Chain A
């Protein structure tokens, strides 16, 4: 199946959705946002990603609707091209090659054949706004070399440039001045604010600019939270401005509503402010948006707004200031303390999310599944406040338990520490707080691990701390006369010569616990909590510790701060081998013996895959990232790959993801994961992982099982409905995205027809065969099926009914025709 291409590091989702302003389609049905090298098309109603437009080879830096054809979208990228897309079908129409890095894109309707981009040609931090003439040509790849400079020395960010009055002038802000270029007069006016000379104006810097759609009015946002509305700026002397001041911190973005009657602003307060009639006293708020508002955009139809937030989230907001949809990507706002984990239930990647939250992020669909509020306290966003940080988290007992550690340290001696244990509740499908332990240790907790052995009856948790102790926590009965309950208590406290405990790790079968005390590794029996043996290599403090798995379970691996990787044999209690490797990340693969180690050198990070049984690595990938790799994790594959080459075999059952210091989530692949993720594969994925909801009973496999039982018990029953999942019409209905479905009145006749067929002509026994056949067909042809549904949407083909029927017997057909004559128009009236 897989050709042996060269393995490369690919960015896998989790890219910033908030990098640029999102753009609405003309009918407000779709919202476009840049996402790494791609442009994503989301439905505003369902929050689902409808298309991913891929074609750029570097970061996409700007998107704009084609002002002359609102079904087309322009995008520009660091790869030096401007691409024109048909976003409804996700097709690339044209590519214009400009040649230099493009930083932002603007379109105006008036000069039809040109767009505006920001480039930097000479020095690294001098940016120019240039207009690019897009030549008319039928070919797909066109060179666009006709550039003319409009404004020099502009700000890099597209927020600092705005076109006004249908492209008659362009306003650009930078530092302390606003420049306005008039295209007709070909003149530039410049307005300077008093800068930091006196303290009162010290934060006068411009941060963003927006132009009124109908009037000659420019709104500018400032560092000190003021908004200035400039008027009369075509007169160098008589210009004037009004101030609006509500924000106490920098204004991050501004947008006028389509009619210009209101101005929207946002900033670090996470409050969207609507200024009506540009009056200071007349303003509305949408508070508690969760994170800093980075961008605001307005739909051309005027019914929706959207805000992009620093936690990689886009909120679609109704005109009456009600949030209607949230598109949430991987939260990358803050530093990651917990590392990368995999939730055993959802296979989601788990890591620090919003402040005080754990996020569950689906790698497959590149979206956040949900947020778990761990700290459960209102987050106060202010400089200089020392926040409670979620520092450690671990899953145990196949995802039934979650342990988290949070801490806050204001002064050296004042440590606030809390450990929480969460139980997964099947009823609510979420984690519920079970036990809260105040100050589980005297000092910072350095490591936390559950005993994940299959046979263990009693959940066990071990915490290691800088106070020199490790503690074993077990689940005990906490019932009283009021209720039955369980809770966690400390079972054992261990220490070793008052050294700081730095790491802890259970062996695969749970029989042994390894705890490292600075330079020394101690092995404890988990039954009796007796010290079995110690290893000491005197090679520096142990940074990572892990047991081998499966056939290599007799080995224990430790990586030290001095750059030595040691492997001890637990049977002989001796050092098996050691290697000089400055290990930053060491992760065992849960599905094989393989262990991944990422080493850090001055040049970059290298990846080594090895088995503990032999010191020779299986696979080496040099220079996987220029920056420091902070965390890594193996993610089990849903469908195993079948790489035949020995070097790639380690990727067959799991995939290795890692997170660099700048928080880009990367993985190894022969192709990019987004390529693999077509809408059809997603659809299938959805079908398999349906939760047991009422919906599932119509659609899922459960029904099939039940029906089989039914067949056995009541053979003599006459009426037998076919399995709903096998009726094409129902499949059609359920698998086609809601926004492309034809009207319900049209579907209804089809739907009813399909249900009513079999009562007379078919006996119950005949059906299963049919089903099998169709099932096969379906799984094979799901791609076609999808195309088919699109056809429906395009043409509203009245022949559709027949298309389905031709798969049925003649008798059914006859019956169907009879039904088609029945008037169902009453349904439309419902």
Chain B
């Protein structure tokens, strides 16, 4: 392998924005995530939780609500008072429409998906009809005194629950009038001075309304009579979000203390039909406010100010206890944010709203303001490989400016692409951790790639959390491929045998005193190092110099707002 001079870069001052909304689409098993800077990301949960689409945000477009409607259409609304629809093919904003109600705090799609409801600052609830290419204002409901912070449809579509400040209103959709007004107890730790904000409501098909509020309560209301049925005090701080499963047998709430609580509808005794809602498990995966939660059939999804997207699978819903059943924590984007010019020793850092260019060895910073994103890799010579958001890589001949070939389609999205300098082999990494090598001149997979596919990757390799974000090559050693994800970098030596499931994948560098025979026996193609983490970028500058860009989590946390102070026992 040899030794390298390493530029260990830690000055990439990248701080991901806090997560504001998540919306889960059951049909396509995709998750839309919006951040406080207006960025919207789309994750494909089937493809190993890969972030496949990305809409750069803008400060003026801070989203407060995000929802899927009419099948696969994605809408967002924000404090600028606009409802935005995104074009998921072209990856741009289709249109923005002002709702004329002041800042929009909440938005929800009707159970049929044909209508959109928004709750505004001025206390109005507005109903929009979704037409095939636009949305159209239909009417206003009874105007309330204060802003509408949360909305929920009854699954039949006949009623609406709206959470406001200090009360919850129930509307009849037909008449648009308020049926009930349920006053929420203001009491907060014995003091009742502060207003009680209803951060979330959920309307169940049996007429129960579940509300979560700033006093730390989860309350169950009977919408037919407008009475409180049961109250759970679960936190000393705000409960900010709620999401109910489609079967209505479980829901999840997130609190400002960073805890999410799971509630389940369980039979009181095994031989009776009576059921009750029981708080079951608390999960503490966040350090800051959990601003939003989602409930997929098999997992609880939560996100908040601490910028992590946490996907917690429900053990009882998972059929086989494989690696899919493990907790996922997504912190960094699944894209390469850094590019590097080898000849001039420059690093280009991509931020959400600007770029920074750094010269290695000196600290001169120059910046331009522009947003950009898409996957494309150009080789040294004449080939261009491009991968769209849908699977499949196309290779173009740059000189002739025409399509050379298409790499056979694969189910999982591409996470990284690179073309080797001399052999013009295209190396493709997919979100399911598979790596292919495709020979562009021969228009087929290389021999090595076929052997790898025949034997299969090591199971630990396939169980890694984060996708490969960058691939590069050693200028002097054509047999070596360098690739890395957020927690390791790996040099694949194609000349060595592949590891079988029985051998150690993460073998430490063999001790020097052992004989060459032993070393050769234990050596395999994958040389993995976990020295640098979280690793955002790693490349060879020349044959003896390596540049590694790290972003320690502690540095990010240090730049976040302080979390709620809690007394820890024993301190």
Contacts and interface: CB of A to CB of B under 8 A. Distances in A.
Interface of A: 165, 168, 214-216, 231-232, 234, 237-243, 248, 279-282
Given A237-B316, A279-B233, A281-B234, A216 B269 contact: yes
Most chain A Cβ neighbours within 10 Å, of B269, B270, B278, B569? B270
Instruction: Determine the interface band of chain B, counting residues with CB < 8 A from chain A.
Output: 20 to 34
Contact of A242 (B216, B280, B569): B280
Contacts of B233: 279, 281-282
Most chain A Cβ neighbours within 10 Å, of B232, B233, B280, B282? B280
Contact of B279 (A168, A239, A279): A279
B255 to A, nearest CB: 12
Interface in B548-571: 569-570
Contact of A231 (B232, B234, B280, B282): B280
Given A231-B264, A248-B569, A281-B233, 12 more contacts: A165-B269, A216-B269, A231-B278, A232-B264, A237-B316, A240-B262, A240-B278, A240-B281, A242-B280, A242-B282, A248-B570, A281-B216
Interface in B481-535: none
Contact of B316 (A216, A239, A242, A243): A239
B373 interface: no
Given A281-B234, A282-B233, A240 B264 contact: yes
B170 to A, nearest CB: 26
B268 interface: yes
Interface in B272-322: 276, 278-282, 316
A168 to B, nearest CB: 8
B408 interface: no
Given A248-B569, A279-B233, A282-B233, A242 B281 contact: yes
7 contacts: A231-B266, A238-B316, A240-B281, A240-B316, A241-B280, A242-B280, A279-B233
B269 A242 contact: no
A241 B270 contact: no
B207 interface: no
A277 to B, nearest CB: 8
A241 B266 contact: no
6 pairs of A and B residues whose beta carbons are closest in the complex: A240-B280, A281-B233, A238-B316, A234-B270, A216-B269, A215-B268
Interface string B112-131: 00000000000000000000
B267 interface: yes
A232 B569 contact: no
B232 A216 contact: no
Contacts of A241: 280-281
Contacts of A232: 264, 266-267
A183 to B, nearest CB: 12
A367 to B, nearest CB: 38
Contacts of A165: 269-270
Contact of A216 (B216, B270, B281): B270
A165 B272 CA distance: 12
Nearest to B216: A281
B270 A242 contact: no
Given A248-B570, A279-B233, A242 B268 contact: no
Contacts of A242: 278-282
A765 B280 CA distance: 83
Given A242-B278, A248-B570, A279 B232 contact: yes
Contacts of B279: 242, 279
Interface of B: 216, 232-234, 262, 264, 266-270, 276, 278-282, 316, 569-570
A187 to B, nearest CB: 12
Given A279-B233, A279-B279, A240 B266 contact: yes
Contacts of A215: 268-269, 276
Contact of A243 (B276, B278, B281, B570): B281
A63 to B, nearest CB: 28
Nearest to B279: A242
Nearest to B264: A240
Contacts of B278: 231, 240, 242
A249 to B, nearest CB: 12
B282 A243 contact: yes
Contacts of B569: 248
A234 to B, nearest CB: 5
A168 B570 CA distance: 42
Nearest to A182: B270
A216 to B, nearest CB: 5
Contacts of B234: 279-281
Nearest to A248: B569
Contacts of A237: 316
Contacts of A282: 233
Contacts of B232: 279
A214 B279 CA distance: 18
A215 B266 CA distance: 10
B152 to A, nearest CB: 25
Nearest to A246: B569
A215 B267 CA distance: 9
A216 B278 CA distance: 12
Contacts of B264: 231-232, 240
A700 to B, nearest CB: 55
A521 to B, nearest CB: 54
A279 B268 CA distance: 16
Contacts of A279: 232-234, 279
Contacts of B316: 237-240
A231 B266 CA distance: 8
A168 B271 CA distance: 10
Given A238-B316, A279-B232, A216 B268 contact: yes
Nearest to A240: B280
Nearest to B319: A237
B189 to A, nearest CB: 10
Most chain A Cβ neighbours within 10 Å, of B216, B264, B570? B264
Contacts of A240: 262, 264, 266, 278, 280-281, 316
A504 to B, nearest CB: 47
Contacts of B280: 231, 240-242
A242 B268 CA distance: 15
B523 to A, nearest CB: 31
Most chain A Cβ neighbours within 10 Å, of B216, B234, B278? B278
Contact of B267 (A216, A239, A243, A281): A216
A234 B266 CA distance: 11
A240 B232 CA distance: 18
A242 B267 CA distance: 15
A477 B268 CA distance: 75
A229 to B, nearest CB: 8
Nearest to B230: A277
Nearest to A281: B233
A215 B232 CA distance: 19
Contacts of B216: 281
B79 to A, nearest CB: 33
Contacts of B262: 240
A169 to B, nearest CB: 8
Nearest to B569: A248
Nearest to B261: A242
Nearest to A185: B270
A279 B234 CA distance: 8
A221 B280 CA distance: 16
Contacts of A234: 270
A243 B282 CA distance: 8
A238 B278 CA distance: 14
Nearest to A184: B271
Contacts of B281: 240-243
A239 B314 CA distance: 11
A282 B270 CA distance: 27
A405 to B, nearest CB: 35
Nearest to B318: A237
A306 B383 CA distance: 83
A231 B262 CA distance: 13
A181 to B, nearest CB: 13
A243 B569 CA distance: 16
Most chain B Cβ neighbours within 10 Å, of A214, A215, A234, A241? A215
